[in-house]
Structure 1
Amino acid sequence: MNARSPIESKADGFTLTDQDFEAIAQFAYKHFGLAMSSSKKPLVSARLARRLRKQNVLNFKDYLARLNGPNSDKERSNLLSLLTTNVTQFFREPHHFETMRKDVLPDLIKKARKGGRVRIWSAGCSNGQEPYTLAMIIQDMCPEVNRLDFKILGTDIDPVVVQTATAAKYPADEIAQIPAEYRKYLPKLDADGRLPESIRSMVTLGVLNLIEPFPFKGKFDAIFCRNVAIYFDTATQQKVWQAFQRSLVPGGYLFIGHSERMSGPAAQHMKTAGITTYIHTPSGGDAR
C-alpha cells in the first residue's frame, strides 16, 4: 500500500505541496480577505488542477507567477471564483425580507415620499437575486418608487457574477422561487428574457472588494451582507463590521448571514433587532 506524502496533495496529475498551498492561501488573504485553513487543501488542489490543465500551466508555481504577473486581473477573478461558492436565490432567508417589509421599508418609503434620499446596499450580491428581490418588495409597497430618490446598490468582488447580475436573466426554476404575489411583475419580462426595466432601473451594480476602503460619500439606510464574512477570519470580519457600521445612518439596519455574528468594536454601536439583524445605535447597543 502506497502512503501519500503528508506535504503533498495530488489532483488531476498536479501536485500541490504545503508550500504551494501556503502561497495560494496568502495570496487569497492579501487580495480577497479569504481565510483558508489547511483543511481546504484538497478542495483547492482539485479546483485549481482543473484550471491549470485548461490554461496549459505546468505546475502551481507557474500558476502563482501568472497571478502576480502583468495583466493578471482576469486570472485573479478566476481564482476567486474557484475558491468561493456563489449560492444564492430569490428571497433567500426570507425572515430578513419580512423584517424589511414590516419594520424597515414603511419608514423609508415615507422618507422618500417627503423628498428624502434612501439607499440600500446589497454587499456580496452574487448573481443579483438579492438586490432584485429588494426591488420587487419595494415596488410592490411603493408603485411610484422609480420617481423617488430611492436606490439599491449591489456589489460583489467577483466581476463574473456582477456581469450575470447586470444581465438580469434567470432560468425558470429560479423565477419559480419567487412568491406568487411578486411574480405579477415578471410577465413583463423583456423580449430577451431580462427582468423588467422597472425592477432593473432601481438597482446599480458594480465590483467592490470589502476589505478595501469603501468609496462612498453618502450613508446607507440598510445594508445586506449575508454569508460573505464566513470566508474571513475574525480580524477581517471585525474590520468589515466596523466599516459597515460607519456606513449606516443612525437607526440603519444591517442584515448578515445565518451563521455569522457581530463582534468587535462595531458591536458597541449595533443593537440586536432579530435573527442576524442589527440596528445602528451610535450611542451604544447590545449586539451579541
Structure 2
Amino acid sequence: MSAVGSTVAGGISDSDFASLRSIALRELGIEISGEKKSLLVSRLAKRLRHLGLDGFSEYTELLNTGQSAEELEEFVACVTTNVTRFFREPHHFDHLETQLIPDIEKRASRGEQVRLWSSACSTGEEPYSAAMILARHLSDRALSNVKILASDVNVKVLEAAQSAEYPKSEADAARADLRGFFQPSPNDPGRVVLADKVRNLVTFRYMNLAKTWPVRGPFDAIFCRNVAIYFPQNVQEDLWVKFAKVLRKNGSMYIGHSERLAGPANTRFRFLGSTMYQLTN
C-alpha cells in the first residue's frame, strides 16, 4: 500500500491531481479544469488497476520518470476527448466544396501540389469527410496531386482511423451523393469501410500540437476544430501563429464553434464567417 498520496479506492489527493494536471500541460499543452477531476480519476483508475498500482502517487511518478513511453500514450488516451462524426460543422465542408474546389482543380491539374491538414483528426471522420468532397469533384489528374495530412496526439485513435471502418449508421447519415464511397465491411455486416479512392488521399501521422511540428507546409486549408479550447490562452495564441506560418497565402483555416482567433495572429487572418478564416499576409 502506498504510504502517502491517494489510493484508487479513496479517490485522488489535491497534490496528485495537481501533478496530473502538470503532466497534461507539459506533455500536451492541455489545461485540465477541476470540473474534469472525477472524469479523469474514473478513466485513470482502470490504468492503475491494470498496472497493479496502489495509488495515484505511484502513477504520477511512473509518468514523471519517463519509465514507460507506452503508459504515457495510455495517459494521453485518457486525457483527450474524441467526439467526432462525418461532416461535423457542415458549413466548413460547404466552404471547401464551393469556394476552394475550383481553385484546387485548376492548380492540381497543372501539376501543383495541394495539401490540406486535419490537425486533430481523432478517428478519421474529419479528414475522410474532406477527402470525399475532393474525390467527388476533382478530376483524376488533379487528385494525383492532392494529399490530406491527418494528425493526432492519440495513437489509439490513429490506429482506428487508418482502418477506415465505421458503423453502417454513419454512412446512412451521410449525404446521398457521397454514400457510394462507403462499402460493406468484409469483417462485419454492421460496418462499412471507405473506398480506396478516399483512403488514398489521407496520410495519418502522430503529432503533438504543443510540441515542435515536423511539417513545413504550405497547406491550402487547415482544420483545427474543438482543440484549442483545451489549451490555456497563451498556448492558443501560439497555435494560431504557428498555423499562419504553414498556411499558404489566402489559405483557409477552420476552427471549432467554441473557439475564437486571438493574439498576434489576429492581424494575419480575415474573418470569412462562423469559425472560418483566410490568411491574408
State the TM-score, normalizing by the size of structure 2: 0.92
1:249 to partner: Cα distance? 0.4
- In the alignment, what sits opposite 1:18? 14
Paired residue secondary structure (2:208)? coil
The amino acid that maps onto 1:13 is: A
- In the alignment, what sits opposite 1:286? none
- In the alignment, what sits opposite 1:75? 71
**CA distance in 2 between partners of 1:140 and 1:197 (Å):** 13
CA contact (8 A) 1:118 1:151 kept: yes
- In the alignment, what sits opposite 1:241? 240
State the TM-score, normalizing by the size of structure 1: 0.90
Equivalent of 1:105, from 97, 101, 105?
101
- 1:191-239 deviation per Cα after TM superposition (whole angstroms, max 9, x unaligned): 4553211111110001000011221233100000100111101000011
Paired residue secondary structure (1:16)? coil
What runs of 5+ residues in structure 2 fail to find an aligned partner? none
Equivalent of 1:139, from 119, 130, 135?
135
- In the alignment, what sits opposite 2:273? 274
Alignment of 1:67-216 (within 5 A): 67-144=63-140, 148-187=144-183, 189=184, 191-192=186-187, 193-216=192-215
1:190 to partner: Cα distance? 6.2
- In the alignment, what sits opposite 1:232? 231
Paired residue secondary structure (2:59)? helix
- In the alignment, what sits opposite 2:33? 37
What runs of 5+ residues in structure 1 fail to find an aligned partner? 1-7, 283-288
**CA distance in 1 between partners of 2:14 and 2:177 (Å):** 53
CA contact (8 A) 1:138 1:145 kept: no
Question: How has the CA–CA distance of structure 1 residues 178 and 143 changed in structure 2, closer, same or farther, with 3 Å as cutoff?
Answer: farther
Question: How has the CA–CA distance of structure 1 residues 32 and 175 changed in structure 2, closer, same or farther, with 3 Å as cutoff?
Answer: same
**CA distance in 1 between partners of 2:151 and 2:214 (Å):** 12
**CA distance in 2 between partners of 1:98 and 1:247 (Å):** 23
The amino acid that maps onto 2:58 is: D
**CA distance in 2 between partners of 1:177 and 1:71 (Å):** 44
Paired residue secondary structure (2:213)? coil
**CA distance in 1 between partners of 2:220 and 2:107 (Å):** 11
- Of all paired residues, the percent bearing the same amino acid is 38
The amino acid that maps onto 1:53 is: R
The amino acid that maps onto 1:236 is: V
**CA distance in 1 between partners of 2:31 and 2:141 (Å):** 40
CA RMSD of aligned residues (A): 1.8
Paired residue secondary structure (2:30)? coil
Alignment of 1:258-269 (within 5 A): 258-269=257-268
**CA distance in 2 between partners of 1:219 and 1:212 (Å):** 19
Paired residue secondary structure (1:101)? helix
CA contact (8 A) 1:91 1:177 kept: no
Say whether residues 1:217 and 2:216 are aligned partners.
yes
**CA distance in 2 between partners of 1:175 and 1:146 (Å):** 26
